[in-house]
Structure 1
Amino acid sequence: MVKRIVPALLVGLLLILQAQIWFGRGSIPKVTQLRHELTELEAKNRLAKLRNDQVASEVNDLQDGLGVIEELAREELGMVKPNEVFVQVAYGPGS
């Protein structure tokens, strides 16, 4: 009787372990699914990073562009910001 219990117990443990491998929380199908999801998320992250870099570039271009526009407006149109004092220096004919 004991000779049959030990092998049956070992076979039962083997079946439990196999069930965990194939159907448990860390099973092979679950790991494959998670790897697939990871690949998709990494692709989405790459696209989002590319878009973020484009937006950052556009923001920098706009900031630099506004500086150039402001400089031209000050020189050619005499633009003065609020709370600024405009000082004009006139040079005479002998300067």
Structure 2
Amino acid sequence: MKIFAVILVIIIACLGWQTYNGRNGILHYRETEQKLKAASANTERLQRRNQALEDEISDLKQGNRVVEELARSELGMVKQEETFYRVIEKEEKTSPSK
């Protein structure tokens, strides 16, 4: 009877180990779940980026105002009859800490 109990305990221990560490065990499930969350977050980020690019493309196709705005903001372009003013804000003087 003792041998039967020892064998039974060994079998239960092996099954428990397989359930936790086995091929489709709990650890494998958790790793796969984390990879899925990371992939989902990356997919969502890329979808937002693609939507922004699609919006920008549709704006560019619709008119010259958007092209002019992009040229002014990104390239610093100015029309011939315009005067360019650059405003530089003063830095506040901070007192030395004691």
Tell me if TM exceeds 0.5: yes
TM-score by length of 1: 0.55
Kindly tell me the number of residue pairs found equivalent between the two proteins. Answer: 64
Query: SS of 1:26's equivalent?
Result: coil
1:31-82, CA deviations, whole angstroms, 9 ceiling, x for partnerless residues? 222222222111101100101101111221122227xxxxxxxxxxxxxxxx
The structure with the largest alpha-carbon Rg is 1
Structure 1 runs not aligned, ≥5 long: 67-95
TM-score by length of 2: 0.54
Structure 1 moving runs of 4+ over 6 Å: none
Structure 2 runs not aligned, ≥5 long: 65-98
Alpha-carbon distance in 2 for matches of 1:21, 1:56:
47
Aligned residue in 1 for 2:56: 58
Query: SS of 1:58's equivalent?
Result: helix
Aligned residue in 1 for 2:27: 29
Name whichever structure is richer in helix by fraction: 1
Aligned residue in 2 for 1:13: 11
- Give the percent of matched residue pairs that are identical in Structure 1 and Structure 2: 25
